[in-house]
Amino acid sequence: MTRALAIVVALAGGARADYADEPPRPVHGSAGVGTAFLVTGDNGDRNRFDAEVDVEPGGRFGHYGLLVALRGFDDNHAGLLGAGLVFEAAAARPRLVLDLHADAGADLDARRPFAGGGVRTLLGIVGPLALAFDVTACVVIAGSQDTRLVFAGDTQVVLRW
């Protein structure tokens, strides 16, 4: 048993994602707006809007980037304004990209901090036009009584570059 475990550890230690054989990518990113459905909406108020911009610097760090997003806003709600990190986890470029993101910022209505993350899938339509499907979970930190989970899914129309 110990020998088998040692072999598995040795093989796993040798496995790594090597992007050295990929050609360097230029600066790239996307900007999108769309509708959001809050699974944990307030008093039945579940349909809102989302906007997000992300930029990946390309080159050696072409799979990593930064994002700025305004999530869950409408006429009555200012939403969650956040910034964070993006990691391009998988891609079948130029048609399909899977991004993982981690966000932190402020709930503009409650004036409280939040932290969260999610998965965003971009599906290319034609040229720079794409659709993005995002599932995000955020925890709004508001003390022991009012801390809440904001869980949402959205669909956005996106321009990629």
What domain range includes position 51?
25-160
**Interval 89-142: pLDDT, tens:** 998 888 999 999 999 999 999 899 999 999 999 999 999 999 999 999 999 998
Residue 38, domain member (yes or no): yes
CATH number where 130 lies: 2.40.160.20
Residue 111, domain member (yes or no): yes
Burial of 9 (0-12, 13-18, 19+ CB in 10 A): exposed
Torsion sign, CA atoms 12, 16, 160, 76: positive
What is the pTM assigned to this prediction?
Answer: 0.82
Q: Which residue has the tokens 């809440």?
A: 148
Residue 51, domain member (yes or no): yes
> Cα–Cα distance between 10 and 60 in angstroms, integer?
27
Nearest alpha carbon to residue 31 among 58, 67, 75: 67
Q: How many domains does the chain have?
A: 1
pLDDT at 94: 81
Residue 4, domain member (yes or no): no
Residue 108, domain member (yes or no): yes
